[in-house]
Copies of this chain bind each other. A is one copy, B any other.
């Protein structure tokens, strides 16, 4: 098998300031923590061979004993496996737990750890069960087909189109393709619209999996700042988007104007009109990710960006039921001009043959169910957001939250650039976090951390206590003469 070896220089670079907290932890511990984080981050892939101990010690300018001990710790924890005479390779601890038979399938044990590395809620139980019951009743006619539906079943494309119409954006089913979630939608679009080496504009910060998708197809993410400090209406640097589009000749931009992940900010109507103008002028395809559009908390969003670019093939919208209903369905979609939809459907068989019929039927039911269940989710999120803000104000008063008008997370500015170290330390305090730099390129956002409020209040309270303890353990001291913030 092709074995991927990671070089000492690359590990050293990715580790960044792993010893910034020198003195508080032994060096081997800091090194082990740093490497573990790189594994969790995906920056060191599973299966990769780590550098030899002597080589890494030289690169990091530490003693070989430090590296040997760090590797031993990781081996003990199950993160490294070594065979006689060969280099240590990265693994994941422990085989997955044996689950009981289907009927008694249990919720995966979370232990006492609160996982805040993702921003996603549990299912609205009754609605989802009802949707699948309805789907089962609607299934028989499809059982008389081979079941592969790369375009998506007509009844779901109609339901999705009807929702756009209800939001004031005329849409036909021919403008809709059903996908296995919004991430899959973005990946399909990248496959059809970009070539390796091409630039893709992204919000900065942005959704980490979008960055991963751009990189996977060989694209180059070009960050354009979303600045919480400017206030919601001025957070997007539209002039920056326009000039980046011109200067880099990017063929595509990926933007989240509706309750942006991670900040929760929402672009106003004038900004949306301007985005559509930029697309028209530059011929750059705007991929507008509306995954969070239903998750408004304080005020509903303005009309879709596509409403400002009617008939404009450069404005493409993607959506999903994952945030408004449940991530376990894996149903999303693309709204685009029929010609692009045709190309996407035609190209899909190179990667998968369609989204399961059953989940498509369940999605029809959820979309037709009206706003009630979604409003119930918003109500839960409002309450949880309030709890998170209160807990943070009490325990970490010098962290500055961006409070957007929707979404599922806060984006917090910390007094010091310790996000990676914090994420590395947090699990031993009972919390899993995604470090700020995962939301950016080139190591940005070491001063930032995303804290989702998608989990129940009691977990959020435990999580903030854990985060505060982890932060304390870092022993951050803030220079009072610290310069004004730069994102």
Residues of A with Cβ closer than 8 Å to B? Answer: 1-2, 40-42, 45-47, 81, 89, 91-108, 118, 120-123, 125-149, 151, 153-155, 157-159, 172-174, 180-181, 183-184, 187, 191, 193, 196, 209, 212-213, 215-216, 218, 251, 283, 285, 313-314, 322, 326-331, 337-340, 342-343, 345-347, 349-359, 361-362, 364-365, 368-369, 454
Contacts and interface: CB of A to CB of B under 8 A. Distances in A.
Given A129-B136, A313-B1, A107 B144 contact: yes
A209 B46 contact: no
Contacts of A343: 45-47
A359 B362 CA distance: 12
B138 A102 contact: yes
A412 to B, nearest CB: 22
Contacts of A347: 42, 45, 216
22 contacts: A1-B337, A2-B193, A2-B285, A42-B346, A45-B347, A93-B129, A97-B133, A99-B137, A99-B138, A99-B153, A99-B158, A105-B361, A106-B141, A107-B144, A132-B358, A180-B180, A187-B352, A215-B350, A327-B353, A329-B356, A356-B358, A359-B359
B369 A98 contact: yes
A143 B132 CA distance: 12
Q: 9 tightest CB-CB pairs across the interface, nearest first?
A: A147-B328, A46-B342, A97-B134, A120-B146, A99-B154, A123-B143, A107-B141, A102-B138, A212-B350
Nearest to A285: B1
Contacts of A173: 95-96, 98
A356 B328 contact: yes
A423 B121 CA distance: 50
Given A328-B358, A356-B356, 18 more contacts: A1-B285, A45-B347, A93-B133, A94-B127, A95-B130, A95-B172, A97-B154, A98-B173, A102-B364, A108-B145, A120-B148, A122-B144, A129-B139, A145-B328, A180-B352, A184-B353, A209-B350, A358-B358
A101 B368 contact: yes
A200 to B, nearest CB: 13
Contacts of A47: 339-340, 342-343
Contacts of A180: 180, 352, 355-356
B137 A42 contact: yes
